[in-house]
Amino acid sequence: MCGRFVLTMPVDEMARLFDAVPSNDLPPAPNYNICPTTAITTVTSDGGQRRLRAMRWGFLPNWYTSQADGPLLINARAETIADKPAFRSACRTRRCLIPASGFYEWTKGADGARLPWYICRPDGAPLAFAGIWQDWTPNDGGDPLSTCAIVTTAANAAMSAIHHRMPVILTGADWPLWLGEAGTGAARLMRPGPEDALRMTRVGTAVNSNRATGHALIAPLTN
């Protein structure tokens, strides 16, 4: 799964990288501890026009009567996404990219303690997670809320040493297909990345708190 991630790119850099027009309500960056239910930056495409859009991280199916009406859907499994009632329409017609600089995963120590790892590209280049999205309208007739989930797949051999799942990470060449700009066949993109595509570094336990902030969260552990 992917339950926390990092985004350090400023808006203008993301706009250039994804050739997208930014909305004016994007969450601030850098953010070294992005948590579920908060607003995150996504990339969508409408008729070939890409936009950077803020969305709630936590997909809300249209039958939810409130944001807390059912399980918190922050991830969607690639293996079942096309069949799950919550996701099947979005995976066909509402796919997005979720920019990231890296993400966190945890292992357990001998004493049961949660040991965090920061996972990013070896060269520090940005990541683009595969995502799906949906606008959800509350029953009270309030304004629609754009919501999203990160698509995950089985971990490759390198990542499986830490966790059995990982985000689907898309290269720039894959973005048009995933966003629906290059025809059909996006399902083939939902696979683990190359073994050498990510670097995994143990970091301090400060990030175990969802209130922790700052660059020090991704600093390698030095003991």
Residue type, 219: A
CATH code, 80: 3.90.1680.10
212 lies in some domain: no
202 lies in some domain: no
Q: Can you tell me which residue has the tokens 């969508």?
A: 44
Instruction: Tell me, yes or no, if 13 is annotated catalytic.
Output: no
Neighbour count for residue 47 (Cβ, 10 Å)? 6
168 lies in some domain: yes
SS3 124: coil
Q: Can you tell me which residue has the tokens 């175990």?
A: 208
92 lies in some domain: yes
According to the model, what pLDDT value does residue 223 have?
Answer: 65
Q: Let me know: does 100 contact 128? Beta carbons within 8 Å.
A: yes
112 lies in some domain: no
142 lies in some domain: yes
Domain that holds residue 142: 5-101+123-196
Residue type, 208: N
Q: How many domains does the chain have?
A: 1
**Mean pLDDT split into 10-residue runs, the chain, 223 residues:** 93 98 96 98 95 98 93 98 97 98 95 95 96 92 92 94 95 97 94 90 96 97 79
Q: Let me know: does 188 contact 153? Beta carbons within 8 Å.
A: no
Phi and psi of 214, rounded to 5°? 105, 160
Catalytic choice (91, 96, 105, 148): 105
161 lies in some domain: yes
E-strand stretches of 81-223: 95-100, 102-108, 114-120, 127-136, 145-154, 165-167, 199-202
Catalytic choice (2, 91, 96, 120): 2
CB burial of 113-130 (b: ≥16 within 10 Å; e: otherwise) equals eebbbbbbbeeeebbbbb
According to the model, what pLDDT value does residue 196 have?
Answer: 86
According to the model, what pLDDT value does residue 178 have?
Answer: 98
162 lies in some domain: yes
Instruction: Tell me, yes or no, if 105 is annotated catalytic.
Output: yes
